[in-house]
Amino acid sequence: MNWALAWQIARRFRRSKQRNRFISFISASSVVGIAVGVAATILLLGVMNGFEGALKDRLLTLLPHIQYRAIHPPIDDWQQVAARLTAHPQVEGVAPFIRFSAMVERRGQLRALELRGIDPVFEQRVSGLFNFLQPADAPPLAGEQLWLGSGIAEALGVTTGDRVIVHLPRFSDDGELGTPQRQLFTVTATIHMGGQFDDTLALIHLGDARRLAGWKEGVQGVQVKIEDVLNASALSREIGRNLKEPMYVEDWTRSQGHLYEDIQMVRTIIQLVAVLVIVVASFNIVATLVMTVEEKQSAIAVLRTCGARRRLIMAIFVLQGLLGGIIGTIAGVIAGLLLAAGLPPAVEAWVALTGKELLDPQIYFVDTLPVAVQLEDVLVAIAAALGASVLATLYPAWQATRVAPALVLGGKA
């Protein structure tokens, strides 16, 4: 079959149909619909990719990927536990910790928080929290010093250099709540992470945490940084098999996994809606070609009389419909990429103009709208648009092959 001839005739049919305003309008609407569907797919999936990237680059740099906690603390030889864990190829780093539920007081005001004792040297191997400290050149965490979440610091009116009192619950041997244990700390830095961490987290040196727990040595548990962070649930069990003693196992998906699941759910909905937009637009291709076939029956009959086979006739109308799909797809890709590039600065300009934040950093872990377009998403949008365009042409093209030259030309004679 001569595809060059089919393409040439398809282009001529497309140009000639522009004389019919109604057919031209339906054809243009199909092109616009496909362009809108492709652009929306690229833009919205780019936003979802941005949120997923922010989840990995911000939230999961501070949140422990996996934690192994002793059933009966302390773990005296935690270095041996760490050595067993690092034997797994997915483990990138380990760090000890001691964790408390506590209250912090400043001038009679109290706030509940999670107090975590860390070793700064080891913590740097598993956490990016040092990138979110203010001042950025804060001195290393030392004894009787505290790094406080910025939300708590703002609520209590605490600034760097102020002293606060940390209250820890104390229980008697029979389980009754007694007088809380108090410890004075100096705030040497604040944590500006965004979201709930700024309102719930405070860090002290591991030595202070041991003293508060009443231990001379040992730790409560070990936190682990892994390479495949999105597979933390399965890896937490696999890595834990290297341990000899039983421990409680926690991974980030148990506390914050809903964020990742929400992103994936929205991504799926966006893909479904975008495909539906493209499918609806492709119905206009069907309508356009049906009317074109009806209008071009004489030309089809002449082609058949001149020896054109059914395959050539079908190819002509498939290519004619596909041409509209290609135009819409190219326009959609260009529009989607331009919108994705211009959306973040447009949002920043809107926030600067109105003074209203699109994303509240007190609720979300980002304060800007992240956009990250990925090649595979662009290819999926292109494939969906072109695939729908081709499928939409099949029935009208098949109908064109059924035109009977004798009836058409005989009736005109």
Q: What is the pLDDT of residues 388-401, one digit of tens each?
A: 888 888 888 888 77
In a domain, 235, yes or no: yes
Same domain assignment for residues 299 and 401: yes
**Of the ranges 88-102, 157-171, 217-231, 242-256, which one carries the lowest mean pLDDT score?**
242-256
Q: How far apart are CA 101 and CA 114, in angstroms?
A: 5
Same domain assignment for residues 263 and 306: yes
The yes-or-no verdict on residue 223 having pLDDT over 80 is yes
In a domain, 319, yes or no: yes
| Mean pLDDT computed over 62-87 | 90
Same domain assignment for residues 263 and 155: no
Q: How far apart are CA 109 and CA 94, in angstroms?
A: 36
CB 146 within 8 A of CB 210: no
- Considering only CA atoms, which of 81, 25, 70 is closest in space to residue 244? 81
Q: Reply yes or no: is the peptide bond before residue 140 cis, omega within 30 of 0.
A: no
Same domain assignment for residues 235 and 152: yes
Same domain assignment for residues 241 and 273: no
Same domain assignment for residues 83 and 222: yes
Pairwise pLDDT comparison (381 vs 301), residue with the higher score: 381
In a domain, 63, yes or no: no
Same domain assignment for residues 337 and 405: yes
In a domain, 222, yes or no: yes
In a domain, 337, yes or no: yes
Same domain assignment for residues 76 and 52: no
Predicted model pTM:
0.71
In a domain, 254, yes or no: no
Q: How far apart are CA 232 and CA 225, in angstroms?
A: 10
CB 333 within 8 A of CB 42: yes
Residue with tokens 């595809």: 3
Residue with tokens 């005296």: 76
N-to-C CA span, the chain: 31
| Mean pLDDT computed over 41-53 | 88
In a domain, 65, yes or no: no
| Mean pLDDT computed over 203-215 | 92
Give the length of the chain.
Answer: 413
pLDDT of residue 412: 52
Last residue of a domain, one of 245, 276, 305: 245
Tell me the per-residue pLDDT of 239-253, one tens digit each, with 9 for 90 and over.
988 888 889 999 988
Tally of domains in the chain: 2
Q: Domain span at residue 193?
A: 72-245
Which residue(s) pair with 117 in the sheet? 98, 204
In a domain, 368, yes or no: yes
Same domain assignment for residues 229 and 264: no
pLDDT of residue 159: 93
Last residue of a domain, one of 245, 274, 305: 245
Pairwise pLDDT comparison (350 vs 338), residue with the higher score: 338
Tell me the per-residue pLDDT of 261-320, one tens digit each, with 9 for 90 and over.
877 888 888 888 888 888 887 888 888 778 777 777 777 777 777 777 778 888 887 888
Last residue of a domain, one of 220, 245, 270: 245
pLDDT of residue 352: 78
Q: Is 2 left (phi over 0), alpha (psi -120 to 50) or beta?
A: beta
Burial state string for 387-404 with b = 16 or more CB within 10 A and e = fewer than 16: ebbbebbeebbeebbebe
Same domain assignment for residues 201 and 238: yes
pLDDT of residue 413: 46
Same domain assignment for residues 53 and 88: no
Pairwise pLDDT comparison (331 vs 304), residue with the higher score: 331
Same domain assignment for residues 404 and 278: yes
Cα 397 to the center of its chain, rounded Å: 41
